[in-house]
Amino acid sequence: MIKILPSVESFLARQHGLLIGGQWQPAASAATFATLNPATGTELAHVAEGDAADVDRAVAAAQAAFPAWAAVLPAQCERLLHRYADLIETHREELAQLESLDNGKPFNVAYNVEVNVALGQLRFYAGMPTRLKGETYPVSSPGYHVYTRREPLGVCGAITPWNYSTVMAMQKIGPALACGNTLVLKPAEQTPLTALRLGELALEAGIPPGVLNVVTGFGHTAGAALARHPHLRKIGFTGSTEVGRAIVRSSAENLAHVSLELGGKSALIIFDDADLDAAAETALWAIFANSGQNCVAGSRLFVQQTVYDNFLSTLVGRAQALRVGPGMQPDTDLGPLISQAQQRRVQGYIERGLDEGARLLTGGATAPSADGYFVPPTIFEHVADTATIAREEIFGPVLAVFPFSDEDEVIARANAVPFGLAAGVWTNQLARAHRVAAQLHAGVVWVNTYDWFDPAVPFGGRGASGHGRELGMQVAELYTELKGIWIKV
């Protein structure tokens, strides 16, 4: 096992409060809850259980901090965000250990992907304040000069999931702050630790009290109170489609801007002319990275009939070689699932797959366990397009494989789900790559690769996968309001 850093030991031992107006405070109710280590099922740390009263205080603190933060000069805002990034870089190993322990993912992934991606994002957002700009317009009335200004919204809320807690937090903290807003962050109850540490580091970087507030707590209490808060101007949500709908309903009252990054059931399509060895390696990680708990997981694999048998036997062989274990064990490929509830859910889908006639090629249900929520890499074939495991997001290491014969057929089948987040295409025919990429219903299509991100590239879904684009300079559209100004000259 990787040795736990002393700074992580002491962080875990603390009784964590809520970060409200730059102060660490207990919940008004004094309630706390435990976050568990999913590799063992034991308590890892205790955090405050915020609810509506705490959300009220946090929103008030964010409101109070807003005018001064919105007035910070762009170059100064950039300096503060870069200083924040420097601190995250200094504490990268510690954050990665916290994430590995709290979420279960392999430490190497937490260090090289999770914290590294969050850091890259923050560096990108740190460059935004001096680049936010309006436009001038050639209006058809004589004697007018007309231009737009991009102005911050005010108090924003962020509700984030547990699968990539550090990245998801930064994907909202970064643009909210860079655009001059203040924020209340409600991290997932399963993984509150890195959000708390990010709150501490923001203060240490000199970001003023109240600009970033962190309220740990549960979704139906703290999360719902934040989404419906009358003073909230924007809510950025990443999570399930079901809760996304509840967020939209709350916005009917406060009319907050809403952006939603929800579930997926992404198709990865392998044509017979592709580099099949590389495609098999990509298909493997497209589904099994983060134990399948990935919004862009390539959970439906379409393989052209002509190469189907060989491709599948390579894939199954590689899946069987993956090591399942605790995230803090250095050779682990797949960590545990986040919780016992998630383990049961995924096992339920595996049983449903069998009941509906699919053929299990590897993996399958293991006995539910209270001491570590592991599920092995699982692959099904002979799955009907209408089967539950072909249509619903499982959010676990479960792959459904389908043979196909031609291009039009596979495009139609790939598009026949309500989700539209991501898709992948493997082919060495240039024209086919462009043709298929254009027709897939998805916010992102990867060709001869999968699961790549860059802070400069907009990301988001359509249909049941949500709307709005995070990342890229376009994220400014989610976190600012345009004002048109007419000057009679």
Residue 450 tokens, joined: 């999968």
Residue 424 tokens, joined: 């992948």
Q: Judged by CB, which is closer to Mg ion: 101, or 400?
A: 101
Interacting span for ligand ADP (CB under 6 A) from 7-15, 155-163, 313-321, 350-358: 155-163
Dihedral of alpha carbons 384, 389, 392, 397, sign: negative
A 10 A CB-CB count for 21 gives 17
Q: Does 32 bind ligand ADP (CB under 6 A)?
A: no
Residue 297 tokens, joined: 């997981």
Q: Is 395 left (phi over 0), alpha (psi -120 to 50) or beta?
A: left
Residue with tokens 């509150």: 192
Are the C-beta atoms of residues 489 and 144 closer than 8 Å to each other? yes
CA atoms of 239 and 228, how far apart (whole Å): 17
A 10 A CB-CB count for 18 gives 27
Closest approach, Cβ 371 to Mg ion, in A, equals 14
- Please provide the size of the chain in residues: 489
Binding partner at 239 among Mg ion, ligand ADP, none, C-beta below 5 to 8 Å by kind: ligand ADP
CA atoms of 262 and 260, how far apart (whole Å): 6
Q: Judged by CB, which is closer to ligand ADP: 282, or 340?
A: 340
Q: 270, 245, 292, 248: which is closest to 398 by C-alpha?
A: 292
Q: Judged by CB, which is closer to Mg ion: 129, or 336?
A: 336
Choose, by CB under 6 A, the member of 161, 325, 372, 463 that binds ligand ADP: 161
Closest approach, Cβ 160 to ligand ADP, in A, equals 6
What is the Cα gyration radius of the chain? 23
Q: Which residue is nearest to Mg ion (CB)?
A: 35
Site string for Mg ion, 443-482 (x = CB under 5 A): ----------------------------------------
What letter does residue 3 receive in the DSSP assignment?
P
How many residues at the interface with ligand ADP, by CB under 6 A?
16
Binding partner at 219 among ligand ADP, Mg ion, none, C-beta below 5 to 8 Å by kind: ligand ADP
Choose, by CB under 5 A, the member of 8, 11, 16, 35 that binds Mg ion: 35
A 10 A CB-CB count for 430 gives 9
Return the bridge partners of 420, or none: 462
Interacting span for ligand ADP (CB under 6 A) from 14-22, 58-66, 215-223, 361-369: 215-223
Residue 254 tokens, joined: 């406060």
Q: Does 159 bind ligand ADP (CB under 6 A)?
A: yes
Interacting span for Mg ion (CB under 5 A) from 33-41, 302-310, 327-335, 342-350: 33-41
User: Which 169-188 positions form the footprint of ligand ADP (CB under 6 A)?
Assistant: 186, 188
Interacting span for Mg ion (CB under 5 A) from 182-190, 276-284, 432-440, 465-473: 182-190
Choose, by CB under 5 A, the member of 49, 51, 78, 102 that binds Mg ion: 102
CA atoms of 179 and 173, how far apart (whole Å): 10
Interacting span for Mg ion (CB under 5 A) from 6-14, 102-110, 373-381, 420-428: 102-110
Residue 489 tokens, joined: 């000259």
CA atoms of 288 and 294, how far apart (whole Å): 9
CA atoms of 321 and 337, how far apart (whole Å): 19
Closest approach, Cβ 453 to ligand ADP, in A, equals 20
Q: Does 223 bind ligand ADP (CB under 6 A)?
A: yes
Binding partner at 243 among Mg ion, ligand ADP, none, C-beta below 5 to 8 Å by kind: ligand ADP
Q: Is 49 a catalytic residue?
A: no
Q: Chain-centre distance of CA 179, in angstroms? A: 20
Q: For Cα atoms 371, 239, 339, give the angle at the middle one, nearest 5 degrees.
A: 5
How many residues at the interface with Mg ion, by CB under 5 A?
4
Q: Does 376 bind ligand ADP (CB under 6 A)?
A: no
User: Which 231-250 positions form the footprint of ligand ADP (CB under 6 A)?
Assistant: 239-240, 243, 246
Q: Is 77 a catalytic residue?
A: no
Query: Using CB under 5 A as the criterion, which residues of the chain lie in contact with Mg ion when the complex forms?
Result: 35-36, 102, 190
Question: Catalytic amino acids?
Answer: 261, 295
Query: Using CB under 6 A as the criterion, which residues of the chain lie in contact with ligand ADP when the complex forms?
Result: 159-161, 186, 188-189, 218-220, 223-224, 227, 239-240, 243, 246
